[in-house]
Amino acid sequence: MRKVLPALTAAVLLAATGCAGSDAGSSGPIVVGSVNALSGAATFPESSQAAKAVFDAANAAGGVNGRRIDYKAIDDKGDPSAAAAAAREVVGGDSAVALVGSSSLIECEINEKYYEQQKILSMPGIGVDPACFSSANIAPVNVGPFHDMTLTLLYGTEVLKLDDVCALLEIAGNTLPAYQAAIGEWTKITGKKLKYVDSTVPYGGSDYTPYIVKARAAGCKAITVNPVEPDSIGQLKAAQAQGWTDVTWLLLTSVYSENYAKAISNAGAGVYVPAEFYPFTDATAPANQEWRDLMTKNKIPLTSFSQGGYLAAKYFLAVLREMKGDITRETVTKALREMKPISDPMVGTPYVFGPAQAHHDNTAGWPIKLATGTNKWELSARDWLRIPKP
């Protein structure tokens, strides 16, 4: 990921050269797009698959005022140039009225200016990079990694009562200030500071032993990390190899999967994660029942990513069905700007697009735990954990 990010500037400049004014208004299909990492080093296919399943079900039930949704999920391959081209294909070429259910490591930063220029709004299922949460035209349905970090620190220090908490940060592109702000928010709320911070930890490292040795020597009793699954597995194995088995891991939703649980036999003093949506591993939860049934019917993996895509499409349809008159990019943008907040039991914070210049309003996670020797995620709370309002 580090290798592709220097090309962001060029791609953003390309974005500024696009043309504005496309419109999908007619009695024909309503074109809705998304830009996703469907191939490449890190892929997130479930979000757009879930959104498509929601739209397919709506079409089967008669569409929206008799018009079917024509959903187009374009692959950005994790590449800046491909991300810029994907946005132009669906926004300029296909005249989409909005983007719904996108999921990409880089797409927001690449295309935010283009979306502003084209006067089109995007509701990602999973927002990742900082631009997803700082643009007037992009409003993800998920919590995002930065609020995730504040939540996991709050749970560790205020609920688990952990002291001597440290951070190992994996930084890609311009994400360091956003993670520093997330840690700063925790400090502002609690008055506490981290014992040790290392922001040089690489993504995809071959050996995390040096970082683990330094953290242990610094006296860390708990560590917050923002890893992808393979990195976290490597870090926990490095700690185990050092005989460091009494450390608590305060991680992010990025490791919340059944495959990760199966791969972790020694979780130290426990792996804690704030699930961004109601925990999907709770198979009997009424909150997830409709999502679970639809994903199972369409053979889509039960993951947080598919929860995000499902909710993005569900919110979007709710707004469309309240609209009067023609459905065009202009009228959809107006409707999303003026929509009322929508509550859903799958999330702890109501969703609204609205007129704000930035959208980072989902501030609730459900604490879950992975204990040594269990290979299963367990609920660690009976309610949502929320970041206190200032």
The list of the chain residues with pLDDT below 50 reads 1-25
pLDDT of residue 11: 35
pLDDT of residue 7: 35
pLDDT of residue 115: 98
Which residues make Cβ contacts (< 8 Å) with residue 261, sequence separation at least 6? 370, 374, 375, 376, 377
Distance in angstroms (rounded) separating the CA atoms of residues 239 and 216: 9
Distance in angstroms (rounded) separating the CA atoms of residues 79 and 85: 10
pLDDT of residue 21: 37
pLDDT of residue 252: 96
CA 91 to each of CA 44, 279, 331: distance values in angstroms, whole numbers, following the listed order? 21, 34, 15
Q: Which two tokens stand for residue 383?
A: 């309610």
Strand 364-370 relative to strand 377-379, pairing = antiparallel
pLDDT of residue 26: 63
Classify burial at 187, counting beta carbons within 10 Å of its beta carbon; exposed 0-12, middle 13-18, buried 19 or more. Answer: middle
Q: Which two tokens stand for residue 27?
A: 């009695």
State the maximum Cα–Cα separation within the chain, in Å, rounded to a whole number. 67
Distance in angstroms (rounded) separating the CA atoms of residues 378 and 390: 31
pLDDT of residue 1: 34
Distance in angstroms (rounded) separating the CA atoms of residues 136 and 65: 29
Helix (H) or strand (E) holding 273, with range, is: strand 271-275
